[in-house]
Amino acid sequence: MEGPTGVVFPMTGGARSTSALGRAVVADALRAVDPVGARSAEHETNWRHGYLGHFRRLVEAGLLSRDAGVSVARAGLAALHTRMRVLDEGGAEHPLDEVFALDAGQPLDTATVAGVGEPERELALPYRGQRLRGDALHRRLDAWVAAGVIEPSCAEAVRAVIANPDWLDLRDQRVVVLGAGAEMGPLPSVLRWGGEVVAVDLPRPDIWRRLLRTAHRYGGRLHLPIRPGTGDDDQALAAGAGADLLHRLPQVAEWLLGLDGRLVLGNYVYADGATNVRVAMAVDALTRHLRRHRDDVALAFLATPTDVYAVPAEAVAHADRGYAARGLARRSLRVLSGGRLLHRNYPPGADPGVNDSLVPQQGPNYALAKRLQRWRATEARAAGATVSFKVAPPTRTRSVLRNRALAAAYAGAHRFGIEVFEPATSNTLMAALLVHDLRTGGGPVQDHPWRDEAYGAAHGGLWRVPYAPRSALGLAVLLGLGATRG
């Protein structure tokens, strides 16, 4: 599960147990606002399957008040930072919060690559073989809102970017893309618009060759961490670039602290299984360290749509109208299944509603890694930082398509009113929302963390479909398997 060094899970009963960590962190996050829920999490005997209800309870407990929502976030983060550990190269174990006192090793140098393209100053969205701009883009936003694919506030934010093309000029920012090679990250868009991108990803030449090709193509500038003595041609840069967040946190922190200009720290990292929690915690430790040493750090996150969210009353009403209009076949299927399939998304009139789109196939480690990002966004916003936190749509990324059940569910999702996006559409749309947030100080001031999370959400329809997503998941998988075989 783990490498010999770097950020690791704590020892529990002689092993580094991901389930023990998950139970303890959720319990600690709930304890002050929902002590019954905390005890329930602590006593969960089958965390691998039972985590779903506890992660929903984290959201429900936070709805009691703004203070409750912030309390859950702060307690959850504190529980993680208290428990997670770092193993140095000699095998000695340290608390995570002491990692930046360890030897950083050889400092990283910086290489800068300037593209030859002309910076674009008009928002253009790739969509089904076209590049939508102007009136065509406005019509697509209207269609998505009408279908319940995005929240009206998402369309509002994108329209503001369309109306202010000068916002796309991000030369006054240093957009740090952690996980620079990720399909969902903003790197291509920021470079296309002529901006400044600071790229951080693993020292893997194939990643950097691809990023260098992108940098040359567009009009922005790419700043990359390199080993001292690295040559300046593309082959040498690809071989010498990269920074390992999991094992070289002090080295990465020193490099980022030395950069000029306002930093926008964008978190786009992903790894499979338990490693996802480890790298998410490495990024969170880095985030906290940078904010302690610089007062100009803005944060950016992309949230998964397959999580639990509080949603506005108008989303509930949209789903209720669809449920009332469902056809005979779906009514009959619900009856024949004994109510297990296709049950309604929300109780009538819920305000806010609670949308539970957790997918069991993704597992508790994925849920914890994504939840700690939400907690950091809530904590940082409460502390006065500029934060861009946006729910992204379901997207056909490589990591999703590797999971056969998820790939099939995505193939069948349109039968239930859910639109699954292509990566180019998603990453451009989310980059436009990032621009909006950077130019508006994080977007409108809201009275509760759940409203911050709901603003500008592009959930693909999961919040507004008639049926609770998990009650339709099995059918979507079957329909998707049939479609892919056909």
324: in domain = no
323: in domain = no
One domain for residues 193 and 74: no
Give residue 145's pLDDT band: very low, low, confident or very high (50, 70, 90). Answer: very high
Closest by alpha carbon to 94, among 292, 78, 102? 102
Q: What is the pLDDT of residue 218?
A: 97
Q: What is the pLDDT of residue 424?
A: 96
One domain for residues 280 and 170: yes
User: In angstroms, rounded to a whole number, what is the distance separating the alpha carbons of residues 308 and 59?
Assistant: 7
118: in domain = yes
* Eight-class DSSP state of 326: -
330: in domain = no
Give residue 483's pLDDT band: very low, low, confident or very high (50, 70, 90). Answer: low
Helix, strand, coil shares of the chain, percent, nearest 5, are: 50, 15, 35
Look up tokens 């990359």; give the residue: 224
The H or E element containing residue 253 is: helix 249-257
Burial class (CB in 10 A: 0-12, 13-18, 19+), 45: exposed
Instruction: Quick: pLDDT tens for 202-231.
Output: 999 999 999 999 999 999 999 999 999 999
250: in domain = yes
CATH of the domain at 374: 3.40.50.720
One domain for residues 100 and 140: no
One domain for residues 12 and 155: no
One domain for residues 155 and 81: no
- The parent domain of residue 24 ranges over 6-105
* Eight-class DSSP state of 195: -
Give residue 155's pLDDT band: very low, low, confident or very high (50, 70, 90). Answer: very high
One domain for residues 423 and 284: yes
Share of the chain above pLDDT 90, in %: 84
One domain for residues 276 and 243: yes
One domain for residues 224 and 89: no
pLDDT at residue 484 greater than cutoff 60: no
Of the three residues 72, 105, 138, the one that is the final residue of a domain is: 105
Burial class (CB in 10 A: 0-12, 13-18, 19+), 311: buried
326: in domain = no
Look up tokens 């967040």; give the residue: 245
Higher pLDDT, 51 or 330: 51
Give strand pairing partners of 177: 199, 266
Give strand pairing partners of 348: none
Number of H helices, E strands in the chain: 19, 14
One domain for residues 204 and 242: yes
333: in domain = no
Number of domains in the chain: 2
One domain for residues 68 and 126: no
One domain for residues 86 and 215: no
Window from 251-255, 332-336, 372-376 with minimum mean pLDDT: 332-336
Q: In 99-138, where do the E strands start and end?
A: 109-114, 125-127, 130-132
Report helix, strand or coil for 307.
coil
Buried/exposed code over 350-367 (b: 16+ C-beta within 10 A; e: otherwise): bebbbbbbbbeebbbbbb
Of the three residues 62, 79, 105, the one that is the final residue of a domain is: 105
Instruction: Quick: pLDDT tens for 443-466.
Output: 999 999 999 999 999 999 999 999
184: in domain = yes
pTM value is 0.94
The H or E element containing residue 210 is: helix 205-217
Of the three residues 105, 136, 161, the one that is the final residue of a domain is: 105
Give residue 407's pLDDT band: very low, low, confident or very high (50, 70, 90). Answer: confident
Q: What is the pLDDT of residue 473?
A: 81
User: In angstroms, rounded to a whole number, what is the distance separating the alpha carbons of residues 103 and 87?
Assistant: 13
Report helix, strand or coil for 106.
coil
Look up tokens 């957009």; give the residue: 175
One domain for residues 168 and 255: yes
Closest by alpha carbon to 308, among 67, 54, 78, 73? 54
